[in-house]
Structure 1
Amino acid sequence: MPTRDLISWNSLLSGYLKAGEIEIAREVFEKMPQRDLVSCNAMIDGYGKEMLSLGVRPDAPAVVSVLSAIADLGFLEEGKWVHNYIFTNKVHQSCSFIGSALINMYAKCGRIENAYHVFRSLCHRQNIGDWNSMISGLALHGLGREAIEIFQDMERVELEPDDITFLGLLSACNHGGLMDEGQFYFETMQVKYKIVPKIQHYGCIVDLFGRAGRLEEALGVIDEMPFEPDVLIWKAILSASMKHNNVVMGHTAGLRAIELAPQDSSCYVLLSNIYAKAGRWDDVSKVRSLMRKRRVRKIPGCSSILADGKVHEFLVGKAMDVGYNQSVLSMLEEIVCKLKSEGYEPDLNQVFIDIEGGEKESQLTLHSEKMALAFGLLNSHQGSPIHIVKNLRICCDCHRFMQLVSKIYNRRVIVRDQNRFHHFDKGFCSCRNHW
């Protein structure tokens, strides 16, 4: 039997939902190897119709599934609606996992303060899943110090942490740039709590050293691991090598990553970008030729924003919704003009193709998150925050761009990229330029 693709999975899912088979649809949704906007929207719509049906009340597992879908999409208003449904129908009284699901949903929707409120008011004090969700949520927002405080509270109530607790804690230290604290808790999990680190824990430490530019120490951690490094660890070295301009180490890490995951386009792209940043265009051509030979396609940058109840998507290089093309491009031109008057200079090093400077600047301007931001400024009320979800890591130029826009236009901008949240306000970012 041929392998079922995403379109086939979505068709199967929609068929069960239309037939009213919500439980079977949920099983299909959970088995899907990957999900997109269509599949998540279908589940939300299906659950919504069921919830509104007379006398039909979804059970706790069903509510947890829909909260997971909402979290993946970042749909805050839908999440609030489900939260209200949970309390109105007292669903939370029958399942201890509801609290964890709500914390996760609010954290991934950019409302870490709501997640904290749920944690303090709803959660079962002895349910480790609630604590783990809160620590992981704080990590996602780069709030390392706050995550450590939650862990210390956990120790005070004498709740035994597990390997997931420390994975969230190490991730929080990583995203917060807390080098000493990360090393301390990596040792604590082993010495005090006798927890054997998994490869994910080692990955956090490797990434922590790599981000700080301590690449030799990162390689030392890899050498000391009791198992072979996986592709994620080599990609962490790849990213660090590009950030700190270490072509030799990037070359080695890139080849190892490609060997382990020959169909993962990001491995090729990271290696190609390292060569491009160093001006080694022949090597760039070799990597791209290898991608073509193996039929590996680069994932294009895509950003989405919710406005007037509708999700608007923008793809790098062009506005997805033709009706907004001209207005978005005109707004972008105005923004760039204002930012340049404040000292903004496009970071042309973020364009990894061999073209002239003027063309590079045009390429930078059409990054998907910039188009989504322009759309948000045009289609939201002054004073309201702009929420953007991006499928890839935000680049240095777009990061600087968002900082300046938050200052000049006096707007809060919240960007959820592939790795974490960035809260831009008054010219500053919550990540403190550590991401």
Structure 2
Amino acid sequence: MFFDTRRVHVVGVVMVSIFAAAAPVNAELLASTPTSTRAETLATSSIIVDGHIDVPHRVFDQWVDVTESTDGGDFDYPRAKLGGLNAPFMSIYVPAALDGTAESTARAHTLIDHVEAIVGRAPEKFAIARSPAEVEAHFKQGKVSLPLGMENGAPINGDLNNLEIFYQRGIRYITLTHSKSNAISDSSYDDNRQWDGLSPFGEELVVAMNQRGVMVDISHVSDTAFYDTLRISTAPVIASHSSLRKFTPGFERNMDDAMLLALAKNGGIIMINFGSTFVDADARKWSDIRKDEIEAMERKHGAASDVVQHFIDTYRDRNPFPYATSADVVAHIDYAVKLIGVDHVGLGSDYDGVGDSLPTGLKDVATYPVLIQGLIDKGYSDQDIRKILGLNLLRVWREVEKVAAES
């Protein structure tokens, strides 16, 4: 795909679902990936911060009560508790199709409303977290924190007053762009590099985010925009849901080794995306070939053709998807730790955002113990595992708060 294998693929005027909704975890799946008592204990006793989960967009498309068990998707309260997840950043995702419009800003507010509605339905289970201190307090109370991150900065719409409004509503990171170059930054998915990095407003926004205490998220940006951000930011930055280009050569959406080293020097953190096309070269190739073949069919028959739709609907039957495994995700974590140190790596699964492309063993939020077991098998200490699970992100968040307080 020319952008995340999530939600939709946009070609011409046609919007096509990429992956079917993932099925809920079941006992058979968990039994097929056994975990130790140590892994289970680490999951339930640690603060697990996931940098990116797309529940708000999921419930915007079709409301479902994630405070109870759900039939589809990757997240609900029972599965979060089973997996030990207690601080998933809710992605306030606004599609690039709305960039530059008032609807972009309105959509972001609507998605925040949805998160507030989730909390309102079950305040004994969930609470919106606006600081690391609140995450820790909710953890002690047995609640699942729902911090907010905005995916695509387009809802700012060139007005820093909107940054303040969204901060007051709970937004604590902003992914500067998404699938298209916007008024803030060029995108890794877009051949149009209109700014050759950040725009002048994008540079102004990074400074304002530092001053306000909003983490700058460089997932999705072009390489040049990444380095522009590090040049300007006086606070550590995050990659909320990115993986390593080492394993997916040529995929700019992931980060290369030089970028990882620069990120660590900045004090920031990469939070590994679980999607198969992010962590496995064969899955990435499958996705790229599929995109090229769809575009060829559209050129021949027209984007709205029934022939094209049938081709899309049956593609996976003819070409089975090569799923990654939990071991592939662990390999990304392990490589990053060895390159830049354990203090700069975390988790950004993209659950409910990459559909049915999740690796075997990591199909939903009940399966963090499987990932923990993989780290145990690699020889990681409990303390280092806890850092990766959440302490690293909380450290960065605190440093961002400190920079803002001193501004």
| Higher share of residues assigned helix | 1
Larger Rg: 1
| Higher share of residues assigned strand | 2
Q: TM-score, normalised by structure 2?
A: 0.30
